[in-house]
Amino acid sequence: MCGIVGYVGKKNVRDVIIEGLHRLEYRGYDSAGIATTDGKTLVVKKAIGKISDLEKAIQGISFPGSIGMGHTRWATHGGVTEANAHPHTGCPWTKKLQVAVAHNGIIENYRHIKTLLEKKGHMFTSETDTEVIAHLIEEYANGSLFEAVRAALNDLEGAYAIVVISKEYPHELIAARNQSPLVLGVGKGEYYIGSDPSAFVTHTRDVIHVEDGEIVRITPEGYTISLLDNTPISRNVTHIDWDAKKIEKGGYDHYMKKEIDEQPHSTRDAMRGRIDIENGNARLRGIEDKLNELSILKRIIITACGTSWHAGLVGEYLIEELARIPVEVEYASEFRYRSPIIEPGTAVLVISQSGETADTLAALREAKRQGGLVLGICNVIGSTIARETHSGVYLHAGPEIGVASTKAFTSQITVLTLLSVLLARSRGMSQARGQQLLKALADIPEKMTYLLRPENEQAIKKIAEAHAERNHFLYLGRGINFPVALEGALKLKEISYIHAEGYPAAEMKHGPIALIDKKMPSVIIALKHDPLYPKIISNMEEILARGGDIIAVATEEDGEIEKKAKHVLRVPTVPIELSPLVTALPLQMLAYYAAVKRGCEIDQPRNLAKSVTVE
Ligand code: F6R
């Protein structure tokens, strides 16, 4: 998730852009850049690090003109380097059109476009997908910046919010949106563009939300909005009355809730460009160079901490079930110290949202020291773990700011599902089965959106509030939903400080059942189409017989569950292999609303840090 800001007006452009970038920094920062033009020159400056690093780098440089743009980057394609930072420009020698482009999103067909443009003599200087947009606009130069951008956009596949300025049209800023947010700010004789209103909220609160497939042309005289086929669009200006802090959180009170609600989007980003429905296979470019080794693997060790470890457990079920490769899942803190055995044919898969967790990093280094093939699944591009693994796959979940991990968990499971299909297809899983799973995976974001609808959320909130004063919870699940029970318990304890234990449902009778009484609710994942459903119902009977209360996570079709469970958290029906992608969400919300009710500090729970870089 990157941040974009653009400005057309009489204020000091540099100051407006830098202020906007500071306000967008919450969206992620590994590098940033600014571009302005007065028609004589196009000044583009970039720096690695935070916006304050960019400010230092541009000290003493003058930024001419009354039009400009800025970008704060959270890397998706290419490492964190000045060359990969935005804005991007086309060929330095061009006489046609000198543009600067800032982009948020992922261009899926950039490799194809890059190859075509290289054949035409374009020279690329970065590893990003964005740079192709600048070259493409240059290629389409035809006497109008707007028309050149419009032609270029028609060639792009993927998600984008872009802003374009050019030396040749110093009074024109073009912006466009497809699946990445973009907002137009309307001031008095001045206009702003931003990834969200926080980019310009101190200047104007009058906004127009640009929609997918729309292109905006801004000049000092005004703005026009049209569709990519040139159909004009008229849209009313709306006034926002949120404060800047709330806008950064997209109107939410807490990042955690924002990130819970982002899951349809982040899950889609995790699978974007990685599903090959026709062949019933997954395409994971980050590990493509290791496909031969992967096809003859004998064993996989997954190592991680916390929520990432729980995702690893889901991965164990998936890989063993689909690819029939034996998998072990180890806490990284244990793995690193217990002389693990890594024979030839073993791959070690490390999972980390931050890519900086000290124990996971040490486990990775131990695996490498022993000569193992080490693969990674990380969110933060260019993080230490991402750099040190032999190959890896990124989550593309955008920055996760709330300390309690939510969207990273579902993105990790999405990537693990893709990896399982890839491994399984090289071991004889049929194309039809691959297609069936991948189609169902592609439907998950929509199912999540449905699950997160307001009525369902209100129902979950009510249940959470009714139980917020309890001191102990038991979370139970079986099969692939056992790790989700662990994750649900972790969410509750870390943000609400309520004691919660996660167990495989059948294990309960070997000890935890002694705790059950009227005061301790049990949260049980009980999906009617799960072959283990009858067994889970028996586990429920055991709880009821001891006077315990049950909160069930059940599918919408299950009309019987209320006979056993006092409260029900409803989820849509999806194949059992993919069910953690829906069952995790009500448990995240249950924890969130219990913590809100208890007045807890949601985004920074006590004693916890987002990235545990110490042992
Ligand atoms: C829980 C949580 C932690 C992390 C753990 C690993 O909500 O966030 O348990 O999952 O510290 O962090 P990463 O994934 O960054 O290695």
Ligand 1: centre distance to CA 313 (Å): 14
Lowest mean pLDDT among 49-53, 160-164, 331-335, 445-449: 49-53
Residue 189 tokens read as 């004789």
Closest CA to 416 of 321, 539, 520: 321
d(CA 247, CA 266): 19
pLDDT at 242: 67
SS3 string, 234-276, reads CCCCEECCCCHHHHHCCCCCCHHHHHHHCHHHHHHHHHCCCEE
Which positions are annotated as active-site residues?
2, 610
- Check whether residue 262 and residue 405 sit in a common domain: yes
Point out the domain boundary residue: 224, 245, 266: 245
Question: Are the CB atoms for 590 and 455 separated by under 8 Å?
Answer: no
Q: Is the peptide bond prior to 87 cis by the omega test (within 30 degrees of 0)?
A: yes
pLDDT single digits (tens) 275-317: 999 999 999 999 999 999 999 999 999 999 999 999 999 999 9
Domain CATH code at residue 583: 3.40.50.10490
Cβ within 8 Å of residue 541, ≥6 positions away: 564
Our answer on whether the CB atom of 305 is closer than 6 Å to any ligand 1 atom is yes
Query: How many angstroms does the Cα of residue 415 sit away from the middle of ligand 1?
Result: 17
CA distance 383 to 303: 17
Q: For 506-518, how does the pLDDT look when each residue is reduced to its tens digit (9 = 90+)? A: 998 899 889 999 9
550 and 604 both lie in a single domain? yes
- 404 Cβ inside 6 Å of ligand 1: yes
Segment 249-278, tens digit of pLDDT = 878 999 999 999 999 999 999 999 999 999
Q: Report the C-alpha gap between 33 and 24 in whole angstroms.
A: 13
Bridge partners of residue 100, in order along the sequence: 89, 165
Q: Could you tell me the CA-to-CA distances from 133 to 155, 177, 299, 389, 414 in Å, in that order? A: 9, 13, 42, 30, 29
539 lies in the same domain as 447: no
pLDDT tens, position by position, 434-492: 999 999 999 999 999 999 999 999 999 999 999 999 999 999 999 999 999 999 999 99
DSSP symbol at 196? S
Model pLDDT, residue 159:
85
Quote the ligand 1 centre to 505 CA distance (angstroms): 24
Rounded Cα distance, 518 and 329, in Å: 35
pLDDT at position 607 is 80
Per-residue pLDDT at 68: 97
Query: Cα 288 to chain center, whole Å?
Result: 22
Confidence of residue 106 (pLDDT cuts 50, 70, 90): confident
Structure confidence at residue 245 as a pLDDT band (50, 70, 90): low
Q: Look at residue 146 in the predicted model and tell me its pLDDT.
A: 97
**pLDDT over 90, % of the chain:** 83
Distance in angstroms (rounded) separating the CA atoms of residues 473 and 487: 13
Averaged confidence pLDDT in the chain: 93
> Which among 404, 429, 452 is the end of a domain?
452
Residue nearest to atom 16 of ligand 1 (CA): 352
Nearest CA owner, ligand 1 atom 10: 307
What gap in Å lies between CA 449 and CA 261, rounded to an integer? 8
Ligand 1 midpoint to CA 504 (Å): 21
Element (DSSP H or E) covering residue 501: strand 499-504
Which two three-digit tokens encode residue 110? 């950039």
Two tokens at 433? Answer: 């089965």
105 CA → ligand 1 middle, Å: 25
Number of domains into which the chain is organized:
3
Percent of the chain with pLDDT over 70: 97
Tell me, using a 6 A CB cutoff, whether residue 405 lines ligand 1: yes
pLDDT at residue 78, as a whole number: 80
Largest Cα separation within the chain, whole Å, is: 82
The sheet with strand 327-331 has its strands ordered as 327-331, 299-304, 346-352, 373-378, 391-394
The atom of ligand 1 lying closest to the CA of 305 is: 6
Q: Please name the helix (run of DSSP H) or strand (run of DSSP E) that holds residue 299, with its range, or none.
A: strand 299-304
Is 588 touching ligand 1 by the criterion CB < 6 Å? no
316: domain range? 249-452
Residue 463 contacts by C-beta under 8 Å, 6 or more apart in sequence? Answer: 551, 567, 569, 590
The model's pLDDT over 78-91, given as tens digits with 9 standing for 90+, comes to: 888 999 999 999 99
Same-domain status, 372 and 474 = no
Tokens of 248: 């950064």
Note whether 47 and 66 are same-domain residues.
yes
Lowest mean pLDDT among 178-187, 518-527, 574-583: 178-187
Q: What is the pLDDT of residue 94?
A: 85
- Which protein residue has the closest C-alpha to ligand 1 atom 5? 306
Pocket test of ligand 1: the residue of 256, 259, 308 to mutate, having most ligand atoms within 8 Å of its CB, is 308
Mind giving me the DSSP string for 577-598?
GGTHHHHHHHHHHHHHHHHHHT
- Please tell me the pTM assigned to this model: 0.78
Whose alpha carbon is nearest atom 9 of ligand 1?
306
Confidence of residue 321 (pLDDT cuts 50, 70, 90): very high
User: Does residue 246 have a pLDDT over 80?
Assistant: no
Residues 237 and 336 in one domain: no
* Whether residue 354 has its Cβ less than 6 Å from ligand 1: yes
Weakest-pLDDT range from 4-13, 188-197, 414-423:
188-197
Residues 165 and 231 reside in one and the same domain? yes
Please name the amino acid found at residue 383.
S
Coil vs helix vs strand at 475: strand
Return the CATH number at 96.
3.60.20.10
Domain boundary among 420, 452, 484: 452
The reply to whether 417 and 548 lie within a common domain is: no
- The Cα–Cα gap between 576 and 578 comes to 5
What pLDDT does 615 receive?
Answer: 59
Length of the chain: 615
556 and 497 in a single domain? The answer is yes
> Which of 307, 377, 490, 592, when mutated, tests ligand 1's pocket best, judged by the most ligand atoms within 8 Å of its CB?
307
Q: How confident is the model at residue 370 (pLDDT cuts 50, 70, 90)?
A: very high
Q: Are residues 182 and 47 in the same domain?
A: yes
Ligand 1 atom nearest 403 alpha carbon: 8
Average pLDDT over residues 495-515: 93
**Token match 């599902």: residue?**
417
pLDDT score at 125: 95
Find out whether the beta carbon of 66 lies less than 6 Å from any atom of ligand 1: no
**Helix (H) or strand (E) run with residue 349 in it:** strand 346-352
Report the residue among 357, 377, 492 best suited for mutation to probe ligand 1: largest number of ligand atoms under 8 A from its CB: 357
Q: Are residues 89 and 32 in the same domain?
A: yes
Q: Are residues 459 and 571 in the same domain?
A: yes
Q: Is 357 in the pocket of ligand 1 (CB under 6 A)?
A: yes
